[in-house]
Copies of this chain bind each other. A is one copy, B any other.
Amino acid sequence: MKLALIGVGLIGGSFAKALRAIGNVDRIVGFDVDAQALRYAAEIGILDDAAASAGAAIDGVDVVVVSTPVGSMQNIFREIAPHLSRTAIVTDTGSTKSSVIAAARRELGAAFERFVPGHPIAGSERSGVSASRADLFSNELFICTPANETDPRAMSYVEELWRSAGCRTERMSADKHDAVFAAVSHLPHVLAFALMAQVSDGKDGKDRLAAAGASFRDLTRIAASSPMMWADICVANRDALLAELDGYQQILDKWRPVIESGDTALLRSAFEAAAAARRALDASNRDDRS
């Protein structure tokens, strides 16, 4: 199997390493706009070949994996469309799915039916191919969000690839995916960036950060994530994200007067419900692992 990797970062690089580790690929050709990252990936053997463009990378390949920031995907699809063979499968790893499906539908033409929208739920606040590792997807979830047109065989093929890289796989609609991840991933990133902005700004920023303990560090860990990637995701999934952001601010708006009034009992009961849900989440994890 010959694979083209467009976007050689943490996710793409880790996927390539995982496929190589289990010997599930004959040849990987890559392209990245970051020439240095591309050269590095070829040098350390993640890629067999570094191509001069996305279009050049896909010549004669069986599968194209697009693993760039979601804001770049429409241009990538446009560039590769004329070069795709009649059987090549295209898939992506983007964190938002409706916007990516819309871009693929616009640009891929007849090849759209062999486009498999995917999202491996793995990552790190670190980014770039230098952070990639073969076991990044071990026991993680790969979510497939097929369009009506998506060829079931292409989808099964892509899912099997991700399973070989260590993932469990699941299918859901793109709308549901985007609503769920707006809540559990995109909103948390916005909140973490905002908390870091709030605490580090102003004349007291240095003193405050010097006093920051484990809870602050945990809450802001993902604020070290790639700003470009996350600005792209927030804009690509803006409708679902803004709905979550509004709901979140309504909770803060509801709690503010409770804090102000000093009604400890009412505030406590608001916190109780959240704490119970969080403890149940930990308990369900322990069950999963046992």
Contact = CB atoms under 8 A, between A and B. Distances in A.
A23 interface: no
A147 interface: no
Given A191-B191, A192-B219, A244 B198 contact: yes
A186 B220 CA distance: 14
A228 interface: yes
A97 interface: no
A278 B222 CA distance: 9
A208 B243 CA distance: 15
Contact of A217 (B179, B209, B281): B281
A215 B252 contact: no
Given A251-B198, A252-B249, A262-B235, A191 B219 contact: yes
Interface string A143-171: 10000000000000000000000000000
Interface stretch (A42-50, A55-63, A82-90, A268-276): A268-276
Nearest to A223: B278
A102 to B, nearest CB: 14
Interface stretch (A10-18, A31-39, A110-118, A253-261): A253-261
A195 B200 contact: no
A274 B226 CA distance: 11
A238 B259 CA distance: 6
Contacts of A221: 215, 218, 278
A131 interface: no
